[in-house]
Structure 1
C-alpha cells in the first residue's frame, strides 16, 4: 500500500534522497512525511520562503514558541545532575564476562554466572582465578582487570554499574550488557572534580533549550499529523526524527 500525505504519494526517490541522513529506512520515510506536513502547512499559511528548508524554518518560527532556559532552571539541572559535570573521575575495575553465543543456552549461561557470583561473594580472593578460567574477555589473562576507566569508556549499562558500585566490593548481582553477562568488582576509585556552575552554565542552557525546542516541535507535529490525511503507515511522532 503506498504512503500518502494529504493525497501526495511518497516516492521511493524522495525516501532515497533522505536516507543518507538517517540510520534506517523507516526513519528516512518518517522524515519525508514530516517535511510534507510542514511544507503543506507553510504553504497553507502563505509564509514567504525561497525553498522547502526556509519554508519549514519560517513555519516553526511562526507557530512554535520555545521557552527560554532561565538561570534558575539551569542551576536546578546542575544541582540534580552532578555526575554530568564531574571530570577526572576514574575507576579501576575487574570483571568476568560470560559471552552470549548461539552454542550456549542463555538460561544455562545465566545459571553459571549466578553460581560463580555466589561462590565469589563467599570467597572474593578467587576472583582472579575464576576470571582466568571462565571469562570470555581478553582481560581474562590479567585476572579480569580492565585497568582505569572513565565515563564514556564503556557502554552505558556497564558504566552505570561501575560508577555506582562500592570500592573493593563485588557487585552483588549479575550485570547484563549487550556483550553478555558480567560479574564486576571495583578495585579502586579516583574521585573527580565538579566543574563550577559558571563554567558549564552556557552548556546547560543550550541543552535545556534544545530539549524544550524538541518537545515543542514534537507537540506541534502531533497537531499537524492529527489534521492531515496520512495513509499507508502508522505515524508515531514520539519515534520520529526531528528536522534540523
Structure 2
C-alpha cells in the first residue's frame, strides 16, 4: 500500500496527511492492509475532532499535537467542561443491589481436611495412577477402613499432614482456584471424587460450613455507585465521541455512525 492509495480526507477543512495515515497503520493490526488502514483513519479522525473541540473550548493549544495517550484525559475534561457527566442515582444503586443480591454477601467459611498426592500436571501417566490411588483412599474412608487423620499423616505431601490433613478454617481466595471451585460448591462430608489441581490430586472432606451473610445496602452503596458511575462514564465517552463526529464535517471517509461500535 502506497501513500498514493490513501484517499484525501478532511475534518472540518483540516486535511489528514496521507503520510501520517501510513505511519498510523502499523499500530492497528488486522487481517488485511485495507482493514488496518480503515482502523488507522478512524483513530486519526477521532484524535483530530477531539483536538479541535478542545481547542475551541481553550482546553488545548492549537499548535500542539494531541498524543493518543492524552486523548482519554482530554475527553474527560471536555465532558466535565460541557457538564454532561451523569452519575448513578441512589434509586439506581438500590435497584442494582436488589437485582444482584448474591454479589453482596460475605464469603462462606469452611473447615476442611485434605490429602495432597503430589503430581505434576504434565506427567499424564503418573496423574492417572495418582487419581486411581486417590479413589482407592476415598473408598477406604467410605468403608471406615481407615481414618482421614491416619491417611493424611501417611500419604499427604502438604504440610497440613502433621495435623492429619486439617487446613483449619478457609475462605475464598486462600487456596488455588481449582480446589476452591470444588469445595465451595460441595456438600458437607467426604467428596466422592478426587480434586485435581496444579499441585496434584486431593482427597477432601468438609467438616464444617458457615454460609456467607447478606451485606446491608448501606455497606455496599459506595462501591455500587463507583461501579455504575464507571459504566456510565465509559458509555458517555463513547456517546460523546459519536456526537462530535456527527457535528464534524468529515469528507473522504464514511464513519458509518448509525452502526458504530462506539455505542455498544
Structure-2 residue corresponding to 1:141: 162
For the structure 1 residues 127 and 71, does the alpha-carbon distance in structure 2 shift closer, same or farther, using more than 3 Å as the test? same
The 1-side partners of 2:154 and 2:235 are apart by 50
The 1-side partners of 2:236 and 2:127 are apart by 43
- Structure 2 unpaired stretches of 5+: 1-19, 28-38, 55-59, 80-84, 239-253, 256-264
- 1:184 aligns to 2:221 (yes or no): no
- 1:79 aligns to 2:119 (yes or no): no
Structure-2 residue corresponding to 1:117: 138
Structure-1 residue corresponding to 2:72: 56
Shift of 1:128: 1.6
Structure index of larger Rg = 2
Deviations 1:39-89 (A, max 9, x none): 6622255343475343233447879x99958235422344233xx4216x4
The 1-side partners of 2:119 and 2:48 are apart by 53
For the structure 1 residues 92 and 73, does the alpha-carbon distance in structure 2 shift closer, same or farther, using more than 3 Å as the test? same
Q: Between Structure 1 and Structure 2, how many residues are aligned?
A: 195
Structure-2 residue corresponding to 1:19: none
TM-score, normalised on structure 2? 0.56
TM-score, normalised on structure 1? 0.59
Structure-1 residue corresponding to 2:223: 203
Structure-2 residue corresponding to 1:132: 153
Shift of 1:106: 2.0
SS of 1:123's equivalent in the other structure is coil
- Structure 1 unpaired stretches of 5+: 15-33, 219-226, 229-244
Contact preservation (8 Å) 1:91, 1:149 = yes
SS of 2:190's equivalent in the other structure is coil
